Amino acid sequence: MNETVLVTGATGTTGSALVELLLEHDVAVRAMVRSDAAAARFAGTAVTPVVADLDDPAAVASALAGVDRAYLVTPSSERAQVQQERFAELAAEAGVAHLVKLSQLAADEGSPVRFLRYHAAVERRIRELGIAATFLRPNLFLQGMLAMAGPIREGRLFAPIGDARVSAVDVRDIAAVAAAVLTGTGHEGATYTITGPAAYTHAEIAAVLGEATGRPVTFVDVPPAAFAEQLRGVLPDWQVEGLLEDYAHYARGEAAAVLPTVRDVTGREPRTAAEFARDHKAAFTPG
Ligand SMILES: NC(=O)c1ccc[n+]([C@@H]2O[C@H](COP(=O)([O-])OP(=O)(O)OC[C@H]3O[C@@H](n4cnc5c(N)ncnc54)[C@H](OP(=O)(O)O)[C@@H]3O)[C@@H](O)[C@H]2O)c1
């Protein structure tokens, strides 16, 4: 019988890309979503949607019934650690054979970055549970540029990062690693740090966005406080503070290593920032 793979965050950045890729494999794909309206997006596909909120343990337990492998992702909110640890506990109770958790590059319980601390704590809890698991630790998502598409369309890319290099990665390559792990063997117990094929400055990312759209984009190194000001009101304060910590970590040059994980796990080279920019040029081009 085909294995059943549950994808949490199936409407999100990595989860939606993963669902697409899993459909190319001989597995039953179950997509966890939060509403009937979100479930409707899978009508007419081979995906079976299941409605469950991570804060509703009974619904999550039902979503996990009969699942062989699961992909776990939540947004980085104040509740992420609790939500993820409980999901892992319910997965272990449900007899899930393999849990794939989306973590983050340099996850560490002693990190000054709150996101890296909670990811490491969840990884530790999953190890304690004894469930077979794989931890995916990607670097900065290139797709994060889409959240800044407004200023980029006006020719500016703002970030508090100076000339530090970051081996930012295309989410499609993270999803490809996740799909390979969820449909393959031999990945249990592994921790995969996932990077793009090169480490870029934000000035270089701005340049490739400009080349793709045919309009110059200039990188502007903003002070952290000004960056935070732009985000307040858009994101909860906890997340704004977390993003500042994240960018300080990038600015210290701690996310510049380039690793061969995408090639090693999927057999394909990761996409470059220029490929990302070309594939998303419509979003960065003024209407
Ligand atoms: N952004 C980066 O550069 C970066 C880099 C490395 C690691 N990461 C890690 O990536 C993770 C975020 O991944 P992502 O970008 O794929 O996530 P995302 O796009 O923010 O998607 C989050 C998903 O979780 C769902 N969700 C939110 N709250 C839920 C709840 N209470 N119950 C059930 N589902 C819920 C959302 O559903 P709705 O559609 O209903 O809201 C959505 O499908 C974070 O852990 C972050 O640390 C990010």
Domain coverage including residue 77: 3-139+169-194
For residue 256, the tally of other CB atoms under 10 A from its CB is 17
Average pLDDT over residues 152-170: 98
Residue 87 is predicted with a pLDDT of: 99
Q: How confident is the model at residue 233 (pLDDT cuts 50, 70, 90)?
A: confident
The answer to whether position 274 is within a domain reads: no
Tokens 């549970």 map to which residue?
129
Q: Tell whether 190 is covered by a domain.
A: yes
CA of 15 to the centre of ligand 1 (A): 8
Pair 66, 95: CB distance under 8 Å: no
- On whether the CB atoms of residues 134 and 101 are closer than 8 A, the answer is yes
SS3 261: helix
Q: What is the CATH number of the domain that holds 118?
A: 3.40.50.720
Cα-atom radius of gyration of the chain, to the nearest Å?
19
Question: What residue owns the CA closest to ligand 1's atom 23?
Answer: 9
DSSP state letter for 280? T
1, pLDDT greater than 80: no
User: What are the distances in angstroms from CA 112 to CA 58, 109, 222, 286?
Assistant: 34, 9, 21, 38
Quick check: is 72 in a domain? yes
In a domain? residue 88: yes
Confidence band for 245, pLDDT divided at 50, 70 and 90 = very high
Residue found under tokens 């600015």:
251
Mean pLDDT for 3-21 is: 98
Residue 39 in any domain: the answer is yes
The residue assigned the tokens 């110059």 is: 216
pLDDT of residue 287: 84
**pLDDT reported for residue 260:** 98
Q: Is the Cβ–Cβ distance between 14 and 171 less than 8 Å? A: yes
Task: Provide the mean pLDDT of the chain.
Answer: 97
Query: Ligand 1: which residues within 6 Å by Cβ?
Result: 9-15, 34, 38, 53-55, 73-76, 102, 104, 115, 138, 140-141, 144
CA of 216 to the centre of ligand 1 (A): 31
Check if the beta carbon of residue 52 is closer than 8 Å to that of residue 60: yes
Domain count, the chain: 1
Span 233-256, mean pLDDT?
Answer: 96
Higher pLDDT, 264 or 233: 264
* DSSP strand pairing (69-72 vs 156-159): unpaired
Q: Which two tokens stand for residue 40?
A: 């409707």
Rounded mean pLDDT, 79-94 = 98
Mode of pairing for the β-strands spanning 98-102 and 133-138: parallel
At 207, the pLDDT band (50, 70, 90 cuts) reads very high
For 150, residues 6+ apart whose C-beta sits below 8 A from its C-beta are: none
> Which of 7, 19, 76 is the best mutation target for the ligand 1 pocket, counting ligand atoms within 8 Å of the beta carbon and taking the most?
76
* Summary count for the chain: helices (H), strands (E): 13, 9
Which of 33, 34, 42, 100 has most ligand 1 atoms within 8 Å of its beta carbon, as the pocket-test mutant?
34
In a domain, 74, yes or no: yes
Give me the pLDDT at residue 91, please.
Answer: 99
CB-based contact 205:273 (threshold 8 Å): yes
Distance 214 CA to ligand 1 centre (A): 32
**124-155 pLDDT per residue, tens:** 999 999 999 999 999 999 999 999 999 999 99
Which atom of ligand 1 is nearest to 34's Cα?
40
**Amino acid 180: pLDDT:** 98
Closest C-alpha residue for ligand 1 atom 8:
104
Question: Separation of 269 CA from ligand 1 center, angstroms?
Answer: 25
User: Would residue 9 count as lying in a domain?
Assistant: yes
- 170-190 pLDDT, tens digit per residue, is 999 999 999 999 999 999 999
Examine residue 116 and state whether it is found in any structural domain, yes or no. Answer: yes
List phi, psi (to 5°) of 66.
Answer: 80, 10
Atom of ligand 1 nearest to the CA of 115: 47
